[in-house]
Amino acid sequence: MASRVLLVRFSAIGDCVMAAWAATSIRQRDPNATLVWAVESRCAAVIDRERLVSDVAEFPRDRWKKHRWSPKVWQEQLTAFTRLRKLKLDVGFDLQGHSKTALCLKVANPTRRYAARATDALAAKLNPVVGQRPEGTHTVEWNHHVLQQYAPYELTERPIMPVVAFERGKKRLATISVSAGQPEKAYPASHWIEVAKGLIGEGFRVAFLGGPTDTSISIVGAEDFVGKLPLDETMRMVAKSDLHLAADTGTGHMAAAYGVPVVSVFGPMDPREFRPFTVRGTVLRDGVDPASVPPSAVLCAARSLLDA
């Protein structure tokens, strides 16, 4: 049984939340294991440091990307990855499969190495890749399959997430994320406005969430937190929600991880592989353009989900 485990998933926020299921499986099988997660600093807040991991190896990938051709940065990366060797790792899992995450796992030098995929030729050469992911296999389930190549880990219903304290208000809270990692995944602001108006009319307290690069939405009766909250506070808002609505983006995965009912509007990505991993979720999709899903369908799905 491994006692020193490295989990490599640098980004993005939603992918790191999905990787928390794998980390939880490791922790539950071996409560005394030394479990270290290598992650980008901007995503580190989604990792529970009290019950889930023993340590977090944070890397400033945003700064590294800005100076990616600098020999000084290359040396800094290798130095940071080499520090992980001191842990004398038994096993390591790369759940991202990019050249930088593959290099991190290779340089860390655990006794056994497993990669969920390889997105480039260098990554394919650095670590053993666990087969070809079958079409339609969910990311959480494939990550679990990768873990099982080493030991019979069990997939949990929900992952261990950071504990967030909150009090319920008098009104039911519906949070709406206006974010999308890529423009083609975005649900139009005009559609979200119609959804918000419908929820307000049904007695919900509505709050808009989003990152610093997202455009704020201001309507009467709704709160605008777009670009105003750090990641940990965004998680708190999602966790305290009675309902969360989002496009194909990280907050939908947060809602799933915290057991919050979630309606997701998908576009080009396959929801079989990337939907929020929960039985308390509904995915709406009409082709590759999220705008094809009408606001009325989102409201109908929300009502059905809450009535279930």
Which 3-state string (H, E, C) describes the chain? CCCEEEEECCCCHHHHHHHHHHHHHHHHHCCCCEEEEEEEHHHHHHCCCCCCCCEEEEECHHHHHHCCCCHHHHHHHHHHHHHHHHHCCCEEEECCCCHHHHHHHHHHCCCEEEECCCCCHHHHHHCCECCCCCCCCCHHHHHHHHHHCCCCCCCCCCCCCCCCCCCCCCCCEEEEECCCCCHHHCCCHHHHHHHHHHHHHCCCEEEEECCCCCCCCCCCCEEECCCCCCHHHHHHHHHCCCEEEEECCHHHHHHHHHCCCEEEEECCCCHHHHCCCCCCEEEEECCCCHHHCCHHHHHHHHHHHHHC
pLDDT 10s digits, 89-135: 999 999 999 999 999 999 999 999 999 999 999 999 999 999 999 99
Distance, in Å, from the CA atom of 207 to the CA atom of 85, rounded to the nearest integer, reads: 45
Q: Residue 269's pLDDT band (boundaries 50, 70, 90)?
A: very high
CA distance 172 to 57: 38
- pLDDT number for residue 181: 84
- Which pLDDT score is estimated for 63? 83
* The pLDDT value given to residue 166: 79
Task: Count how many residues are written for the chain.
Answer: 308
The CATH architecture one would assign to domain 173-307 is: 3-Layer(aba) Sandwich (3.40)
Where do the domains of the chain lie? 4-148, 173-307
pLDDT recorded at residue 121: 97
pLDDT of residue 2: 61
pLDDT on residue 58:
96
Q: Do domains 4-148 and 173-307 have the same CATH topology?
A: yes
- Residue-level pLDDT at 1: 57
Give mean pLDDT, residues 150-166.
95
For the entire predicted model, the pTM comes to 0.95
Judged against a pLDDT cut of 70, whether residue 87 lies above it is answered with: yes
Q: Structure tokens of 297?
A: 């369908």
What's the pLDDT at 65? 79
Q: Which residues contact 174 (CB under 8 A, 6 or more apart)?
A: 199, 204, 205, 206, 207, 241, 242, 243, 244, 245, 302
Report the percent of the chain where pLDDT is more than 90: 90
Tell me the mean pLDDT in the region 225-239: 97
Give the pLDDT band (50/70/90) at residue 244.
very high
pLDDT digits (tens, 9 = 90+) for 34-81: 999 999 999 999 999 999 999 999 998 778 878 777 888 889 888 999
pLDDT confidence of residue 61: 78
> CA end-to-end span of the chain, whole Å?
42
- Please say whether the beta carbons of 71 and 185 come within 8 A: no
Average pLDDT, the chain: 95
What is the rounded distance in angstroms from the CA atom of residue 33 to the CA atom of residue 98?
26
CB 18 within 8 A of CB 141: no
Q: What is the pLDDT of residue 5?
A: 98
Q: What is the CATH number of domain 4-148?
A: 3.40.50.2000
